[in-house]
Structure 1
Amino acid sequence: MAHVHSIDTGASHGSVGSYVIDFIFSVVLTVAAFGVVTQQLMGPTESIIAIAVLAFIQILVHLVFFLHMNTSLLQRWNVVAFGFTSMVAVIVIEGTLWVLNSVGPTT
């Protein structure tokens, strides 16, 4: 009979409660962003800033409650991989915008 070896990857599986909390926070943050736009309580610049802040908060909520990223030792490599991926994405996006704005229109 073959013996199966398992490797502890440090991945934690969420409970139904954490997924429900994530869902509720997501709905509340989405409705708040929708309300900022539809109610026109702020000017255009303030609305964009408010939506960006709400989006950033929603990203953090998903990272904690859905992806279960935290500061524990078991999650260290997941956080490092996420940070590296985020850094590469920012470099690619900023580099693309820089090149597109530097070239200018051709005549």
Structure 2
Amino acid sequence: MSASGVEQDSAAQRAQKKAREQRSYLWGFGLALVLTLIPFAMLAFTAVERMTLWLTIGACALIQVVVHLRFFLHITLDRSKREDLLLILFTVLILIILCGGTLWILFDLYQRMLPDMMP
């Protein structure tokens, strides 16, 4: 096989990879858009209970996190990507600890400073 044949195969592979990646981004964008519009539409155009709306917003947000991780950050359960996934999970754990600790401190201060206003 000549050098130009190898270059053409390489160019064809790059074009296929680029097309596959663009398709992935478009799917991710479409799913993210739909998952964003669902809560807005429920709020604007329907009369649902407050708790149903909150649960829908939470579910769409969690699904959207997974969509972003899969389609935009390309994090999958492949063996080669496990380190990235563990890094993200550790980051989420640290954020949960920070947010939970902050809320705990704020509610404790609220209870100590304004005990009469507690529900």
Alignment of 1:11-22 (within 5 A): 15-22=21-28
- Over the matched positions of the two proteins, sequence identity in percent amounts to 28
Deviations 1:33-76 (A, max 9, x none): 11111123311111011111011111111111111111111101
Which consecutive segments of 4 or more residues in structure 1 shift more than 4 A? none
Give the Cα–Cα distance (whole angstroms) in 2 for the partners of residues 92 and 82 of structure 1.
15
Give the Cα–Cα distance (whole angstroms) in 1 for the partners of residues 47 and 94 of structure 2.
36
Greater share of residues in helix: 2
Select which of 98, 104, 108 maps to 1:102. 108
Partner of 1:75: 81
TM-score of the aligned structures, taking structure 1 as reference length: 0.82
What is the identity, as a one-letter code, of the residue corresponding to 2:22?
V
Select which of 25, 29, 36 maps to 1:30. 36
Give the Cα–Cα distance (whole angstroms) in 1 for the partners of residues 55 and 48 of structure 2.
10
2:113 match: secondary structure: coil
Measured on the aligned residues, the alpha-carbon RMSD in Å equals: 1.7
1:15 match: secondary structure: helix
Return 5+ residue gaps in structure 2 as ranges. Answer: 1-17, 115-119
Which structure has the greater CA radius of gyration? Answer: 2
TM-score of the aligned structures, taking structure 2 as reference length: 0.74
Give the Cα–Cα distance (whole angstroms) in 2 for the partners of residues 106 and 27 of structure 1.
43
Give the Cα–Cα distance (whole angstroms) in 2 for the partners of residues 52 and 41 of structure 1.
18
Select which of 41, 50, 54 maps to 2:47. 41
Give the Cα–Cα distance (whole angstroms) in 1 for the partners of residues 48 and 66 of structure 2.
24
